[in-house]
A and B are shown apart, each in its own frame.
Chain A
Amino acid sequence: MVAPITDRGSRRPSSATRWLAVLRTPVGACAGFGLLALIVLAVIAPVLWSARAGRTDVAAMLQGPSARHWAGTDNLGRDILARVLVATRLSVELALLATVIAVVTGLVLGTAGVLVGRRVGRVLAAVVNIAVAFPGLLLALFFAVIFGVGARGAVLAIGFAGAPAFARLAQTLVAGIEQRDFVAAARIAGVGRVRILLRHVLPNIAESLIVNASIGAGGALLAFASLSFLGLGVQPPSYDWGRLLGDGLTGIYEQPIAALAPGVAVILAGLAFNLFGESLAKGIGLTATLGRVPLGRAQRRAAPAEPAEPVADDVVLDVADLVVTLPGHHAPIQPVRGVGFRIGRGEAVGVVGESGAGKSLTALAVARLIEEPGRVDASRLRFLGADLLAGPPQVHRRLLGTSLAMVFQDPMTSLNPTRRIGGQLAEVARQHGGLSRGAALALAIDRLRAVRVPAAARRAHQYPHEFSGGMRQRAMIGMGLMGRPALIVADEPTTALDVTVQRQVLALLESIRRADGVALLLISHDVAVVGQVCDRVLVMYAGRIVEDLPAAELATGARHPYTRALVAAVPDMRTDLDRPLAAIPGRAPDPARFPAGCAFAPRCPLATDRCRTTEPPLETDERGRRVACWYAGVSEHVDPTAMTAARGGHE
């Protein structure tokens, strides 16, 4: 009957304001008002309408609704509405009484561990665990046999039936509190057990208990109605809603309202208690709701489509003016704004930058994996000659499913925990290659072998949790090899792995690339990794590409101050270990508030007023290198000491 909410127990009521705030939510206000009305009714109804409810009138039996009897009369001519209203007091009273018994008994059972020691507590916990598995009504019936039929017996029965749930709740809450420092401190200070319970434990779990007691009272009310309905609770001539409902059911053909009216009362009262408790619980663990601003109906493409350039056969991916728009707290944000690049067949392109630079979103956008309400716009997005912006994503399913492989950052969470590894690989071939189950599994095992998973045939039948991190990442790569990939998009594929495993995974990607001429788009915040693996490096900052250069020139030929700062921040053998590690001063800008001008200007040692007002365009030089910096050329001749602040001493 009671549905304890346990996970909010550890918070202390800081003030009454949070409780009041609950009443300001629509549901909380309704429930609070309903509960208040219920209590007022319980107090005044018997005073006002007792006589009317008890007056029999043989001349007015089983009448329909009238001005005199709003809800009609029962088989003895008594006013049904008055009876339902009068029954409020007994129904609520008995439910509250039973709730008090449940909470107190539960609290005693649940906190016994604190008082009499852990061993007794553990035994009690085991018993409570068994008891709590039984539905409240069954426990109530059990106790009703012991305590006898009648209101008194039913109160005890429902009270004790509710106790295990509260005991479980108290145990959970106490377990959380007991591990806190202040309880340990009190214990070490020699504070007695009773005092610890009263002064330290109870105040901390009171809030949760009250919330759950409110929900529990709703349950007790329904349970009481159930027992009375069955004839095991309130006995005539007393009546509560359950009794009225039971009596009404027998005459439902003659006077349906006699059964329906108490039914409605039970539902409303139960809802009032329940919703009040639930909204309190929600209010206590209140989490700020995310503001959602509907996206404007922007044009599908960010810029008018340029005339299609003749694309050479060896271009795998061709992106221009890529913009990603996401809903933000106040207004839509654009974490990626105007990114363009090409990847040739077999080429390895790295994307580096700090967190929030838009690297991963760029990768997801080119792979068409950004879902509504996020939006991707571009003037050009071509993969193997196919225009990915034309038509819905389903059109390109086959092409992307077989030719574009994705490897994600965290192999621990990127594989489905409920499916076997082999099956997860095989379904690619079944879906896109139309292979039979057996053939697809055989191919999956073959691919696992190709990515050097030992004992591939046996491993294919295992679940992801039986794989190590490195093995899972191999399996992810193997998944991409189920088709005939022309491009592997690897989003931080080694970040979650330790260094030796990192090497192996990178070496694997490298060997696949060399063997099959597969292009690689490697997203990483690790400049060193990108420098080793890639042919070309795109440096991203604040949603734009700020530099595009051959990987070989990273260390010495970088022209953008940000690129140099990134390179300088990489410790190497010559790094002085006695000095703090180099870091780029300042923080990457918030995508919701990109500064005007060059986004890197606030952190750049070379920045001038020009940088702060006017954004430098991404210029291409005669060797195909690109850079967006007003001082790109100049900075190479500027006194190197000007950079030391940013580099943090690279001597």
Chain B
Amino acid sequence: MTTLTAAGPAPRIVESPAVRFAVRRGIRFVVSLWVLLTAAFGMIHLIPGDPVRAALGISASQSLVNSRRHALGLDQPVIVQYWHYLSGTVTGNFGTSLTSQLPVSRVIAQRLPATLELAASAFVLAIVIAIPLGTFMGVLTRGGRARRAELTFTTTSVVLGAIPDFVIGVVLVWIVGVHLQWLPVAGKSGLGSFVLPVLSLAIGPAAILSRILRVEMIAVLQADFVRTARAKRLPARVVYVRHALPNALTSTITLGGLLLSSLVAGTVLVENVFAWPGLGSTIVSSILAKDYPVVQGVVLVYGIGVLGVNLIVDVALALLDPRSTIRES
């Protein structure tokens, strides 16, 4: 901000907390992105030994290794490679797969939509379950009411929240796929194939989110402004949903963002449980095949996904609670 104001008399718009927030948040996003790109670039160079030799195997001839190294630009000085990497990724050029010779960008374009659909549906499901459930449980158990319901809910949500998503996936495969034979357990074909992977991803976050929301609701319901809302004789539903809930959501959203980004990572495992044709199965097979350009590209996509989620969470927070734009990050 100091550079902006030092440039001359600050325009009025810079004074607005919303604009200041946007500028600050934008800068943070760019810096994080740069760190991410550097890390993805450094990953290849931190691998002990020669990654091309590792990828092609011990039997490959030295001339093949050399030509592949040249093709990848690995024989150039590191700083030049770094520059090429940065300029390449900005223009959408992520390099070429060592095994399939396909452009990494094409591999990503093929695989990304399936992962996005999976993650987005799971997140929406988690929210759709968690917000009504957490709000309801908060209202039900406020001020130490309904002790038994609280105990049941807390225990269930703690246990469900602690089970890793891929274990839930395996259990679901066993119950629904093997036992009941209701739904497909592998691959992506039609809506039915979404049910189990989405459930495995959503159950944990839904349990954690609703638990947090309940605690937040209980705290907010004791706030003075809730008493004000009650003094206005608004119907209970309006007091809870319009007055209490938005205030309870602020910290829930912060946590929801963390859960969403770990949900993005969780897709890697769940995709491998259900043979889902997304980036998650690609990254694992590429790591095993030492196809480093693909790994690099996919890691970058996941990383950008996480940064994007964090950005969205901060913007949502700012919209929901205008005070959060004033707080220093």
> Which residues of A are interface residues toward B (Cβ below 8 A)?
127, 130, 133-138, 141-142, 144-146, 148-149, 218, 222, 225-226, 229-232, 245, 248-249, 252-253, 256, 259-260, 263, 266-267, 270-271, 274-275, 290, 292, 367, 369, 371-373, 394, 397-398, 400-401, 406, 408, 410, 413-419, 427-428, 431-432, 463, 465, 476, 479
Contact = CB atoms under 8 A, between A and B. Distances in A.
8 pairs of A and B residues whose beta carbons are closest in the complex = A401-B233, A406-B231, A135-B265, A413-B224, A135-B262, A137-B265, A416-B225, A418-B246
A176 to B, nearest CB: 18
B321 A263 contact: no
A418 B247 contact: yes
A212 to B, nearest CB: 16
A271 B43 contact: no
B193 to A, nearest CB: 17
A408 B223 CA distance: 12
Given A127-B35, A137-B268, A253-B178, A260 B170 contact: yes
Contacts of B229: 416
B227 A417 contact: no
Interface string B279-297: 0000110011000100100
A267 B162 contact: yes
A270 B161 CA distance: 11
A94 B15 CA distance: 53
Contacts, number: 183
B167 A230 contact: no
A417 B225 contact: yes
B109 interface: no
Given A138-B302, A142-B299, A465-B322, A256 B247 contact: no
B287 A133 contact: no
Given A135-B264, A225-B164, A260-B174, A408 B284 contact: no
Given A414-B228, A417-B323, A245 B265 contact: no
A603 to B, nearest CB: 32
Contacts of B159: 271
Nearest to B49: A148
Given A145-B43, A256-B174, A263-B167, A408 B269 contact: no
Contact of A431 (B158, B233, B284, B303): B233
B78 interface: no
A259 B299 contact: no
Contact of A137 (B144, B234, B246, B262): B262
Contact of A252 (B32, B48, B170): B170
A232 B288 contact: yes
Contacts of B128: none
Nearest to A400: B233
A145 B227 contact: no
B47 A145 contact: yes
Contacts of A137: 262, 265-266, 268-269
B243 A416 contact: yes
A415 B243 CA distance: 10
A263 B170 contact: yes
Contacts of A416: 225, 228-229, 243, 247
Given A226-B164, A274-B162, A369 B174 contact: no
Interface in B201-227: 223-225, 227
Q: Which of A135, A142, A144, A274 has the most CB of B within 10 A?
A: A135
Interface in B30-64: 31-32, 35-36, 39, 43, 46-48
Contacts of B323: 417, 463, 465
Contacts of B31: 130
Interface in B167-194: 167, 170-171, 173-174, 177-178
Interface majority SS on B: helix, strand, loop or mixed?
Answer: helix
A145 B287 contact: yes
B224 A259 contact: no
Interface majority SS on A: helix, strand, loop or mixed?
Answer: helix
11 contacts: A130-B36, A133-B306, A137-B262, A141-B268, A141-B283, A229-B166, A260-B170, A369-B227, A408-B224, A413-B225, A417-B323
A149 B287 contact: yes
B167 A142 contact: no
Contact of B284 (A127, A225, A231): A231
A641 B225 CA distance: 48
Contact of A229 (B272, B288, B302): B272
Q: Which of B46, B144, B265 has the most CB of A within 10 A?
A: B265
Contacts of B295: 145
Given A138-B306, A266-B164, A418-B321, A397 B272 contact: no
Interface residues of B, number: 68
Nearest to B284: A230
B228 A476 contact: yes
A270 B233 contact: no
Nearest to B208: A3
Given A133-B310, A253-B178, A417-B323, 15 more contacts: A141-B265, A146-B46, A226-B269, A230-B269, A259-B174, A270-B164, A271-B162, A367-B231, A369-B227, A397-B235, A408-B228, A416-B225, A427-B242, A431-B233, A476-B228
B80 to A, nearest CB: 22
B225 A230 contact: no
B232 interface: yes
Nearest to B168: A263
A274 B163 CA distance: 11
A504 B144 CA distance: 40
A232 B286 CA distance: 11
B167 to A, nearest CB: 4
A542 to B, nearest CB: 24
B178 A252 contact: yes
Given A138-B303, A292-B144, A465-B322, A252 B234 contact: no
Nearest to A222: B164
B261 interface: yes
A477 B212 CA distance: 35
Contact of B173 (A130, A249, A398, A413): A249
A164 to B, nearest CB: 12
A134 B310 CA distance: 10
B171 A260 contact: yes
Contacts of B238: 427, 431
Contacts of A397: 233, 235
Q: Which of B47, B230, B238 has the most CB of A within 10 A?
A: B230
A138 B262 CA distance: 8
B307 interface: yes
Nearest to B262: A135
B166 to A, nearest CB: 6
B82 to A, nearest CB: 17
Contact of B247 (A146, A148, A218, A417): A417
Contact of A141 (B47, B164, B234, B299): B299
B139 to A, nearest CB: 11
B35 A130 contact: yes
Contacts of B166: 226, 229, 245
Nearest to A126: B31
A418 B272 contact: no
A149 B55 CA distance: 13
B143 interface: yes
Given A371-B143, A410-B224, A413-B224, A135 B261 contact: yes
A270 B166 CA distance: 14
B301 to A, nearest CB: 11
B273 interface: yes
Interface string B129-166: 00000000000000111000000000000110011101
Nearest to B228: A414
Q: Which of B35, B163, B228, B292 has the most CB of A within 10 A?
A: B228
Contacts of A400: 233
Contacts of A290: 144
B241 interface: no
A431 B231 CA distance: 13
Nearest to B274: A249
Contact of B167 (A135, A144, A266, A418): A266
B102 interface: no
